[in-house]
């Protein structure tokens, strides 16, 4: 079975950002970002995804999401 994984920890590390700093850039609650970063959230809102992509100036969705074997 395949699973969709959000690469938020890797992105924050690459951009040298903490959850608090990303919270300030995106306006997304810190608790929500923590859940997303630790893949504890089952759903992600497109609005959150767009805010993260814009804050980190991402142009390739493959940098954000990957599919892995579970």
Q: Calculate helix-pair angle for 19-26, 46-55, nearest 10 degrees.
A: 100
Domain ranges in the chain are: 2-69
The structure's pTM equals 0.89
The predicted pLDDT at position 69 comes to 92
Q: How far apart are CA 15 and CA 6, in angstroms?
A: 15
Tell me what pLDDT residue 70 has.
82
pLDDT digits (tens, 9 = 90+) for 8-67: 999 999 999 999 999 999 999 999 999 999 989 889 999 999 999 999 999 999 999 999
Q: The domain 2-69: what is its CATH number? A: 1.10.260.40
| pLDDT reported for residue 42 | 85
59-70 pLDDT, tens digit each:
999 999 999 998
């Amino acid at each position: 079975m395949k699973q969709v994984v959000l690469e938020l920890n890797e992105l924050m590390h690459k951009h040298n950002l903490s959850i608090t700093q990303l919270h300030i850039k995106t306006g997304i609650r810190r608790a929500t970002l923590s859940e997303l970063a630790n893949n504890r959230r089952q759903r992600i809102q497109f609005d959150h995804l767009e805010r993260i992509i814009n804050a980190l100036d991402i142009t390739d969705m493959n940098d954000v999401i990957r599919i892995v074997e579970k």
